[in-house]
Every structure is written in structure tokens, then in C-alpha cells.
Amino acid sequence: YSAKETRNGWKRYETRMNLKAKEKLLLENDLRMALELGQFYLAYQPLVDLQSDTLVGAEALLRWKHPQKGVIPPSEFIPLCEENGFILPLGEWVLRNACEQMMRWRGAGFPPIILSVNLSIRQFRQHDLCARIANILADTGMQPQWLELEITESIMADVAYATAMLEQLKKLGVRISIDDFGTGYSSLYYLKRFPIDKLKIDRAFVNDVLTDRNDAAIVSGISAMAHNLELKVTAEGVENEGQVAFLKGLKCQEAQGYFFSRPVPPEEFVALYETHRNKKESAG
């Protein structure tokens, strides 16, 4: 390297960083407007019971329909929202919107299913979280036993707080699941002591379950542990029939993934819901 080249190299790097910072600022501005302008919507992905092959729930997944950039996935804006605190109003909007949607479906005569909503660690740390959720339940008429909150293992970092908050949430009557299970800081000891209903096995393990012996061992291990702790278990990211067969063999109750359906807007989810209603009616 010559000195000049190095300096040029550095300059290029610096310009790129400035661009990134600028982009971030622009995105932050857009985000705040997006909520007011109604640019967010929720996509729903079915949760399927493997034994009966029926729809048992829906996970609400946030989407941002940006006027110039098109539909932006959560991985591109949720980290920023968590950083700047915008996840608090946004997460509350998600909860309310998802409950309203579920109540519209119920009002149209669809049978009850579980509504799964992702909760950010920042929402979990809000001391008045339970009151906020209680308000949403009261306003929408949603019954707590059909609402499932997905939290990640990161909440276990503060055991005393997590225990108290989870107990409050249980009193409210909602269900709790641990999302992306196996990827985070996890203490099996607290897993048993926390009032948790379900483990969702991260799709990173499910992906290669047929070809990677280690992943197969992890998935079957988590599944067996969940059974013994009397927790439900859901496999995420199921993409093919072989994976379904493998999971059935483990007596894994539930699955979610592209094999069944991608997350779809509410208008499309109705069709999946309809098929389920017809199946139920013809079954009994």
C-alpha cells in the first residue's frame, strides 16, 4: 500500500459510513411518519397442529409498506426501532391491530384460534405492560386465553424482573411462548421455573434437520425436554414434507413455515381460515 492509496481507501470508507448514517436518519424520520400515515400492516402465518393437520393459530408479523422502497421486512427496521424506543408505540399498535383483526374474524363466524404476537424486550421491560395489554383486551373484546405473547430468551438476563412480569402476565390470562428457542442466552433451570406455555424451536435448527445429525439431535432434544416439562413445542421454518414427517416422529405438536404458508395479508389469511372451518364442519 502507498500512503495515498491508504488515505483514499479510508476516505472511501468514511463516505460510505456517512451515507449509512444519513440513510439511518432518513429511515428514522420515515418510521415516525409511517405510523401516522398507516404504512404498517400485519401479515399472518398459520400455526398448524401436526397430528390433526389443522390450523390452530396465527402469528402476526409486522410489515412496512414504504411508498418508495416497497414492502420492508422487519429485520430492516425493528432493530432501529428497538434502538430508538419507537418499538414501544409501534409494538402497542401491533398488539391492538392484531386483536382487532382477530375479533373481526371471530365476528364473521370463524372459530377461535391462537393469536401469536411478538413482544420486544423493551416492551417486556415496561412496568405498566400488563395494564396496557389489559386495556387492549378490554377495548377489543379479545379473550386473554387466545392471545399468545412471544418473547425471547433475552428476558432471562434479569431473572427477578422476568419472574415478576411473567407472573403478572399469567394472571392476566395470556399465554407465553419462547421464540427462537435455542439461539439465545438460556438457562434450563429458569425454563422450568418461569410460567411458560410453549417453546418455539428456531428455524436455524429445523432447516437442516434431515441432513445434519447435530441439528436433528438438537430438535429432538428440545422436543423431548419440552414434553417432560409439559410445555408445548412449535417448530419454526418448516419448508418440506420430510421435515413434517421427522417432527411428527418426535411428537412435536405444532409447526409453522413456508410448507404450510408464507405470512400473508389478512385478506389472504381468510382463505386459509375458511378451509379450516370447512374441515372442522365436515369432521364433526
User: What does the block give as the cell for 14?
Assistant: 468514511
Q: Does 178 bind ligand C2E (CB under 6 A)?
A: no
Look-up of cell digits 427496521: 77
| Span from 116-124, 127-135, 163-171, 211-219 in contact with Mg ion (CB under 5 A) | 116-124
Rama region for 173: left / alpha / beta (φ>0; ψ in -120 to 50; rest): left
Task: Tell the smallest beta-carbon distance from residue 13 to ligand C2E (Å).
Answer: 30
Q: Determine if 182 is a binding residue for ligand C2E (CB under 6 A).
A: no
Among Mg ion, ligand C2E, none, partner that 120 touches (CB below 5 to 8 angstroms by kind): ligand C2E
Contact at 8 Å (CB) between 235 and 256?
yes
When binding is defined by CB under 6 A, the residue of 57, 91, 182, 266 that contacts ligand C2E is 91
Binding piece for Mg ion, criterion CB under 5 A, among 14-22, 142-150, 159-167, 217-225: 142-150
* Residue 166: closest CA among 190, 187, 194, 136: 194
* Nearest-5° Cα angle at 229, 233 to 130: 70
Burial of 6 (0-12, 13-18, 19+ CB in 10 A): exposed
Least Å from the CB of residue 154 to Mg ion: 11
Q: Which residues pair with 254 in a beta bridge?
A: 49, 234
C-alpha cell at 109: 363466524
Q: From the list ligand C2E, Mg ion, none, which binds 10 (C-beta under 5 to 8 Å, kind-based)?
A: none
- For position 184 contacting ligand C2E by CB under 6 A, the verdict is no
Closest of 211, 218, 174, 213 to residue 196, by C-alpha = 174
Q: Does 150 bind Mg ion (CB under 5 A)?
A: yes
Beta carbon nearer to ligand C2E, 93 or 277: 93
Q: Which residues bind ligand C2E (CB under 6 A)?
A: 45, 61-62, 73-75, 78, 91, 94, 118, 120, 150, 179-180, 203, 236-239, 256-258, 263
- Which residues here bind Mg ion, judged by CB under 5 A? 118, 150, 179-180, 236
